[in-house]
Amino acid sequence: MNWVRERAGLLAAVAVGGTLIVVVPVVAEIFALFELTLFLVLAILALSLAWVWGFGGILCFGQSVFFGLGGYTYAIAVINMGDSTVPLMLGILLPALLAGILGYFLFWQRISDVYLAVITLAVSLIFYYLTGASAGSEYRIGNALLGGYNGIPSVPPINVPGLPEHQVVYGDLYVLTAVMLAVIYGGLRGLLATDFGRVVVAVRENEERAQLLGYDVRTTKLTVFVIGGAIAGLSGVLFAAWGSYVSPNVFSMTFTAQIIVWVLVGGLGTLSGAVVGCVLVQAAMTWLGEAKLADTNLVLGAAFVVLVLFARRGLVPGTRSLLADLRGRVRSAP
Amino acid sequence: MDHALVVGLHLLHAMASLALVSVGLAVIFGMLRVINFAHGEFLMVGGYAFVLSAGAGLNLWVAMLVVAPAAVGALGFLVERFVIRHLHGDIIATILATWGLSLFLIGLAATVLGYHQQGVAPPFGTVQFGSYSIGIYTFFVMIVAIVTIVSLFVWLRWSRSGLLVRGAMQDPELAAALGADTRRLRTAMFVLGSALSGLAGAVLAPLAGVLPEIGATYVVKAFITVISGGATALTGTTLAAALFGFTSQAAAFLSRPVVGEVALLIVAIVLLRLLPTGITGRYFRKAL
């Protein structure tokens, strides 16, 4: 019984993950599955920020840079190559490399919170303006036209390695995405349980103390940042493959702010919160957009303000402490 | 010769409009440390207050210089009283709440007024310099920026209430212990910052037009300007606005407007790399 209680979170995650991967594809209709795939793709992106910010303590306002770069890299590479295996890897490697360079620049200079947030945001906007200005036939990489604000259309989907005719679409893409999400979630949890994970949290809690204890703060933060960049890149690849489309909007202020909101709604400092927050917010936005009851921005904005005023810590930690409260009350009852 | 003059005027105008866009945020974020993501929407509301009241037949200058700041000041009062105050300086909660507010205001404007651009033609007409013509309104924007910043500076530096405000920002506990009502001061400063944003939104409306989503074009530049300015909000913001306005406009002249936008961001990044605490973190420390 104790064993179950201690591992309630993990068991819940396994149960939810199992349902998502095994049961949903069988039950859900193809359109619902298509939409759900997008939520899970974005949930991977949310996880990357939950990791970088919630555990690494790095307030990155430009997580969309890595997402967008992953998407663009994949789109350009796959249009030129045909087979998706190498483009997929490039879509993870290039964002990780950018994160490495940017992280080196940021952490070795000891740039602090707000400044770091602004710099990462500025980098994202630079990409926004540059990709937006790439309209016209002279802006092409190989066979891929960059297309300015119109973006790159008809991006080929992911295929089974080596077999370009076996495309991973609809139901298959859903399963692939769900498995990736589960693997990344599990991987990050596992990483947090290692010595390295403990150092990461120690650095977040008190950078100076961690350094005085002899840990290399800068390398730790850099590693966290690169891992986050790679995950966001993967999410971008899946996004481009999902919609067979990528445009400068992925670098926009609105998009990058959205990632922050997903993490905050779910609860900063949790991994599951990011997934829950992302799926809930996106589902609410889609539903509001389809129902046309009121302007999406209006309702969502009001909801955030109310949420902050009355449920400060986010959904997952809030629910957790509510459950703990109830349990305590049951136990103390005569 | 005429060309140089016109280029110079454009550069000055870019600095002035950037300073105007940022000055409200310099008060709200620079002094009160409230991260107001809805800053762009405050400008948008100011723009609408001006355009709508001028469209309803009100005198153009009353609409711009009185109605717009008053409307956004009132909005700021409500926001401070019912949202910001209850967050007790929690940065994360403030980001989320003001981002929500920003969405809410965009949605409200879109629902009530629709997603199309509205505007008022710039008054005054144009003036000729040789073969170039430039809107006289451009000079008006510069004058408003200068008057706003100078009067803010004079008020903070030499008046009794300005002293009280500076003290309350520097050490709220000590100021409270000495009898200053810091809570009311914070509200008042938030209202002032909002009103300045409303003024900026109205003054820029004839040039940029207004639409519900226009805030996004302002908010990032404003934050980058105020943050790069560093610890002393007013001087820092003015200096940063001059530097960034000059760079982006000069780069835009040399190639294309998009290069100007990118140049601004790159200069900001390099600047924060060299001076991690902003311009006034190292220089001009005794300024305001």
Q: Which of B63, B273, B89 is nearest to B183 (CA)?
A: B89
Give the integer Cα–Cα distance in Å for A125 and B204: 23
Q: What is the mean pLDDT of residues A213-227?
A: 93
Report CB contact under 8 Å: B227, A118.
Answer: yes
- Looking at mean pLDDT, say which of A74-83, B122-131, B216-225 comes out highest: A74-83
Q: What angle do helix axes B215-229 and B233-254 make, rounded to 10 degrees?
A: 120
Q: Is pLDDT of A3 > 70?
A: no
- The residue in chain B having the minimum alpha-carbon distance to the alpha carbon of residue A127 is B262
Dist. CA A218–CA A200, nearest whole Å: 11
Query: With pLDDT > 90 as the criterion, what percentage of chain A qualifies?
Result: 34
User: For position A202, what pLDDT does the model report?
Assistant: 92
Concatenating the DSSP letter of every residue in A279-303 gives HHHHHHHHHHHHH-SS-HHHHHHHH
Distance (Å, whole) CA A205 – CA A184: 24
Q: List, for residues B170-211, the tens digit of each pLDDT value.
A: 788 888 888 888 888 889 999 999 999 999 999 998 888 888
pLDDT > 90 fraction of chain B, expressed in percent and rounded: 21
Q: Is the pLDDT of residue A320 over 90?
A: no
Name residues 18-47 of chain A within 8 A of B (Cβ): none
pTM given for the model: 0.81
Kindly indicate the confidence band of residue A53, based on its pLDDT and cuts at 50, 70 and 90. Answer: very high
Tell me what pLDDT residue A303 has.
Answer: 77
SS3 B285: coil
Pick the more confident residue, B29 or A316.
B29
pLDDT tens for A88-103 read 999 999 999 999 998 8
A126 at the B interface (CB within 8 A)?
yes
Token pair 């981002």 is found at: B99
Domain boundaries, chain B: 8-282
pLDDT bucket at B282, cuts 50 / 70 / 90:
low
Local confidence band at A2 (pLDDT 50, 70, 90 cut-offs) = low
Long-range contact list for A276-284, CB < 8 A, 24+ apart? A276/A315, A276/A316, A277/A46, A277/A314, A277/A315, A277/A316, A278/A39, A278/A42, A278/A43, A278/A45, A278/A46, A279/A39, A279/A40, A279/A43, A280/A315, A282/A38, A282/A39, A282/A42, A283/A39
Residues of B in contact with A122 (CB under 8 A): 220, 224, 265, 268-269
Reported as a single tens digit per residue, the pLDDT across B30-68 is 788 888 888 999 999 999 999 999 888 888 888 889 999
Tell me the chain A residues in contact with residue B22 when contact means C-beta distances shorter than 8 Å. Answer: none
Smallest Cβ–Cβ distance between B86 and the set A125, A129, A309 belongs to: A309
For residue A334, pLDDT over 60 is answered with no
- In angstroms, the CA A271 to CA A192 distance is 11
In the predicted model, what is the mean pLDDT of residues A111-115? Answer: 70
Q: Do A112 and B276 make contact, defined as CB atoms within 8 angstroms?
A: yes
Enter the ipTM.
0.77
Torsional sign, CA A22, A24, A27, A31: negative
**Given this model, what pLDDT does residue A199 score?**
94
| Residue B130 pLDDT greater than 90, yes or no | no
CB atoms under 10 Å from CB of B17, counted, come to: 25
- Architecture category of domain B8-282 in CATH: Orthogonal Bundle (1.10)
- Using a CB-CB cut-off of 8 Å, the residues of chain B touching A300 are 100, 103, 107
**Residue A117: pLDDT above 90?**
no
10 Å Cβ neighbour count for A8? 11
pLDDT at position A322, please?
A: 76
Question: What are the helix (H) ranges across chain A?
Answer: 2-6, 8-18, 24-27, 30-49, 63-81, 85-107, 113-132, 170-193, 195-205, 207-212, 217-243, 253-266, 272-291, 296-310, 315-332
Integer Cα distance of B246 and B243 in angstroms: 5
Q: What is the pLDDT of residue B283?
A: 66
pLDDT of residue B41: 92
Quick one: CA torsion of B218, B220, B221, B227, rounded to 10 degrees? 140
Average the pLDDT over A274-278 and give the result.
91
CA atoms of B80 and B76, how far apart (whole Å)? 6
Q: What is the pLDDT of residue A278?
A: 93
Reduced DSSP (H G I as helix, E B as strand, rest coil) percent helix, strand, coil of chain B, to 5: 75, 5, 20
Look over chain A and give the mean of its residue pLDDT values, rounded to a whole number.
Answer: 85
Q: What is the pLDDT of residues B94-129, one digit of tens each?
A: 877 888 898 889 888 888 887 777 777 777 777 777
Most trustworthy range by pLDDT among A76-85, A126-135, A142-151, A215-224:
A215-224
Minimal Cβ distance to B99: which of A252, A261, A268: A261
What spatial distance separates the first Cα and last Cα of chain B, rounded to whole Å?
37
Q: What is the pLDDT of residue A255?
A: 84
Q: Hey, which bits of B130-188 come out as E strands?
A: 132-135
Predicted local distance difference test score (pLDDT) of residue A279:
92
Q: Report residue B275 as tokens.
A: 């001076």
Contact B138, B71 (CB under 8 A): no
> Distances from the Cα of B217 to the Cαs of A112, A294, B62, B147, in angstroms?
25, 25, 26, 24
- The residues spanned by each domain of chain A are 24-252
> Please, are residues A95 and A70 in contact by the beta-carbon 8 Å criterion?
yes
